[in-house]
Amino acid sequence: MLKKISKMPFRGTPEQAEKLQAVIDESKNDKSLLMHVMQQAQLIYGYLPYEVQKMIADGMDIPIEKVYGVSTFYAQFALSPKGEYNISVCLGTACYVKGSQGLLDKISEILGIGSGECTEDGKFSIEACRCIGACGLAPVLTVNDEVYGKLTTDDISGILAKYQA
């Protein structure tokens, strides 16, 4: 899957920039530490938007295209932020057989975003995940740490409503 690039405006703070700069300063003499710096940057910002990759590229003296290439190659790097509420729909075998793709589609339809994306107000993000070990409750999804099981598509709007207030 091609990664979605967030259209949300960058909301980085000076504190975050300072933290990232410290990581870069420690690593800039060894270009092989690029992935380490990217991982730390993702911990600081939650994702790796253009502004952050530019800081990394300039700090490490690596062309931004190369940083971007790495960020799109590895699944661990995100180009979209997580929302205040991150909805994770299980597409593991059991949940999939029980119709979890339908749940994912329904959520996408209501929120107007796809998997790997975040709503413009920063409230919700969606991701597809593999088995979370709750196959007995299939199909399941989680909203942050809360688990919802044995769902049908009719349950979705109710669940979302709880967080939309």
Partner 1 sequence: MEMVNIKINGMPFSVPNGITVLEAARYAGIDIPTLCYMKELNEIGACRICVVEVKGARSLVTACVFPVNEGMEILTNSERVRKARKTTLELILSTHNRKCLSCIRSTNCELQALCLEYGVEKPERFDGAVPESSFDDSMPHMVRDNSKCILCRRCVAACNNQAVSVIGANARGFDTHIGSAFERDVDRFACIACGQCIVNCPTGALYEKDDTGKVLAAINDPEKFVVVQTAPAVRAGLGEEFGYEIGTDVEGKMAAALRRLGFDKVFDTNFSADLTIMEESNELVERITKGGVLPMITSCSPGWIKYCEHYYPDQLDHLSTCKSPQQMFGATLKTWYAKNMGIDPAKIVSVSVMPCTAKKFEVGRDDQSASGYADVDISITTRELARMIKGAGINFRNLPDEAFDNPLGEGTGAAVIFGATGGVMEAALRTAVKNITGEEPADPNFTEVRGMDGVKEATYSVGGLDVKVCVASGTKNAKAVMEKVKNGECDYTFIEIMGCPGGCINGGGQPIVPASIKNFVDVKSLRASVLYNSDAAKQDRYSHENSAVKRVYDEFFGEPGSHVAHEVLHTSYVKRGIYKD
Question: Mind spelling out the 3-state secondary structure of the chain?
Answer: CCCCCCCCCCCCCHHHHHHHHHHHHHHCCCHHHHHHHHHHHHHHHCCCCHHHHHHHHHHHCCCHHHHHHHHHHCCCCCCCCCCCEEEEEECCHHHHHCCHHHHHHHHHHHHCCCCCCECCCCCEEEEEECCCCCHHHCCCEEECCEEECCCCHHHHHHHHHHHHC
Q: Which parts of 69-128 interact with partner 1 (CB under 8 A)?
A: 69, 72-73
Per-residue interface string for the shown chain with partner 1, residues 37-76, x marking contact by CB under 8 A: -------------x--xx--------xxxxxxx--xx---
Q: Pick from 2, 14, 61, 121 the residue near partner 1 by CB under 8 A.
A: 2
Shortest spacing between CB 17 and partner 1, in angstroms: 16
Q: Pick from 3, 19, 28, 123 the residue near partner 1 by CB under 8 A.
A: 3
Shortest spacing between CB 113 and partner 1, in angstroms: 18
Instruction: List contacts with partner 1 (CB under 8 A).
Output: 1-3, 5, 50, 53-54, 63-69, 72-73
